[in-house]
Amino acid sequence: MKNIFKYTFAVLAVGFASCEPEFDNPVTDEGFYSNGTANFSKYVAVGNSLTAGYSSGALYIKGQDYSYPNLMAEKFGFVGGGEFNQPMMNDNLGGLLLNGQQIAPNRFVLAVDANGKPGPVRLEGTPTTDIANKLSGSFQNMGVPGAKSFHLSAPGYGNIAGVPTQAANPYFVRFASSDNATVIGDAAAQNPTFFSLWIGNNDILSYATSGGAGVDQTGNMDPTTYGGNDITDPNVFTHVYSQQVDALIGDREAKGVLINIPEITSIPYFTTVPTNAIPLDAATAAQLNANFAGYNTQILPGLASMGVITPEEAALRMINFSAGQNFPIMTDDDLTDITAILLGPPFSLPASTAALLGQLRQVKADDLIVLTASSVLGTTPDPNNPQGIMGVTIPLPDQLVLSTKEQARVKTATNAYNTTIQGLAGAKGLAFVDARDALLRLADGGIPYDGGLLTSQFVTGGAFSLDGVHPTPRGYAYITNLILKAVNNTYDATVPTVHVGDYPTITLTNN
């Protein structure tokens, strides 16, 4: 009898397994979602770290899983999308090796220090992604962290021999089709039917994150002469960018989406550290003011009257502390260097004092102090000199502050690039995403999502990862929806979107 039960159930089990409930209109049915006038069968994404899925200071497997191209490709699967391969990293640490030597650090995680204070720290461990191990096959995510616009068209950008001299990019080395390949060439060779292009961020960003340490190359049409932290000439940008768009469209008349460049003022790397971060009591402020009295009342007016500096510069350079929160002192390489003059008569200052005052001013409210300054401000770098305090008696180096002059250069270039991007999108009938506007809205009040408010607030806002520049997976999900909506609008498609709240933010871990 027991066997009869057993066999009966076995037969029935097979029978009923096929009696799955069916929806009237299953989302998996062809035609439930529409591809509109676009063909998503071969999607190729081209760009920089943002396209690669870089987050919290590194590229790692989980971050790549949540890259916006990967999220988009997943949804394109409902409307005829094909295979989408990414050049996956080897681990979740994120660092890079070159023949065993580490050349890129691991990712940041949020750790709690001995005093119970949470903050970003680099994840410990030896990374296992050695760029000498080339990946085989073609990859539809052609996001190359660190790439500027002209790099995408530069032959040899994936040649491992160029990595030590920074002529090549270690990420592209992993999957370039040959030593002489270009990113855009490898992308176009895949004959995409649909593409996304988000490039140009690094053309201003490295200048900004280095506190304007580079040069504004506007007017210099030869990018091979640029340094890593320079601003790319807008005409160079327009030239390479339109060539890249043409290459991606090809004679296939591929459809695609272009994404513009956000303002640096909308990312926490520049908005987290307040400009008046130095707390002082009245007595200390008075003593500091006494120290700088000679600079304020004799040197600056004297140099102005001698015509060495303008009266405006003299006013800008005045140092003034008071009880409460104060602006730190800084070195500004846009100021006239007066070191040599101070060494000679009538000032005849000692060399150390002359060097201190050479390009000295106090940070202003419209300057931007970069995120990495938070670990420097108020510290005493020389343990034997408790009086040597960063920002108080030692000026912040120029590369920790983005002055208003430097900001203006960045903004001018950004606007120029964005004019090119939007103009090309219109001229070529491509979808256009105003990422600049979207990130400004994140920074200005935030964007509601299914689970709260997404903001640019560092660590807690949800949109930005622990490097202060790149989004979290949740931030990338927000961008994914922006792009998909623009694609749907432009091409009359109904590609499904993502629930932003389903995607994670920062990772908590104590090493």
In angstroms, the Cα distances linking 467 to 27, 385, 393 are 38, 31, 28
DSSP structure class, residue 454: E
What sign results for the dihedral spanned by CA atoms 248, 250, 256, 259? Answer: positive
Q: Which pairing describes strands 329-331 and 368-369: parallel, antiparallel, or unpaired?
A: unpaired
CB of residue 497 vs other proteins: minimum separation in angstroms?
6
User: Which residues in this chain contact other proteins in the complex, by CB under 8 A?
Assistant: 1, 4-5, 8-9, 12-13, 16-17, 19-24, 26-28, 32-33, 61-62, 65, 75, 78, 92, 109-112, 116, 118, 123, 450-452, 474, 496-499, 501-505, 507-510
Q: Tell me the two tokens of residue 241.
A: 């960018």
CB neighbours of residue 397 within 10 Å: 15
- Residue 442, sorted as left (phi over 0), alpha (psi -120 to 50) or beta, turns out to be alpha
The one-letter amino acid code at 477 reads A
Compare residues 276 and 494 and give the one whose CB is closer to other proteins.
Answer: 494
In angstroms, the Cα distances linking 481 to 221, 436, 485, 488 are 36, 15, 6, 10
Helices (H) and strands (E) in the chain, counts: 18, 18
Whether 55 contacts 25, CB under 8 Å? no
Compare residues 380 and 457 and give the one whose CB is closer to other proteins.
Answer: 457
Q: What does the angle CA 246 – CA 248 – CA 253 come to, to the nearest 5 degrees?
A: 80
Compare residues 88 and 319 and give the one whose CB is closer to other proteins.
Answer: 88
CB of residue 261 vs other proteins: minimum separation in angstroms?
28
Compare residues 19 and 340 and give the one whose CB is closer to other proteins.
Answer: 19
- The closest of 471, 479, 483 to 500, measured between CA atoms, is 479
Compare residues 83 and 437 and give the one whose CB is closer to other proteins.
Answer: 83
Whether 396 contacts 203, CB under 8 Å? no
CB of residue 38 vs other proteins: minimum separation in angstroms?
17
Compare residues 21 and 307 and give the one whose CB is closer to other proteins.
Answer: 21
CB of residue 64 vs other proteins: minimum separation in angstroms?
11
- State the DSSP string of 87-125: ---SSSS--EEETTEEEEPPPEEEEE-TTS-EEEEEPPS
CB of residue 28 vs other proteins: minimum separation in angstroms?
6
**For the purposes of burial, counting CB atoms within 10 Å of the CB of 340, is it exposed (0-12), middle (13-18) or buried (19 or more)?**
exposed
CB of residue 302 vs other proteins: minimum separation in angstroms?
55
Contacts of 306 (CB under 8 A, 6+ apart): none
Compare residues 297 and 510 and give the one whose CB is closer to other proteins.
Answer: 510
Compare residues 358 and 473 and give the one whose CB is closer to other proteins.
Answer: 473
Compare residues 222 and 502 and give the one whose CB is closer to other proteins.
Answer: 502
Compare residues 123 and 357 and give the one whose CB is closer to other proteins.
Answer: 123
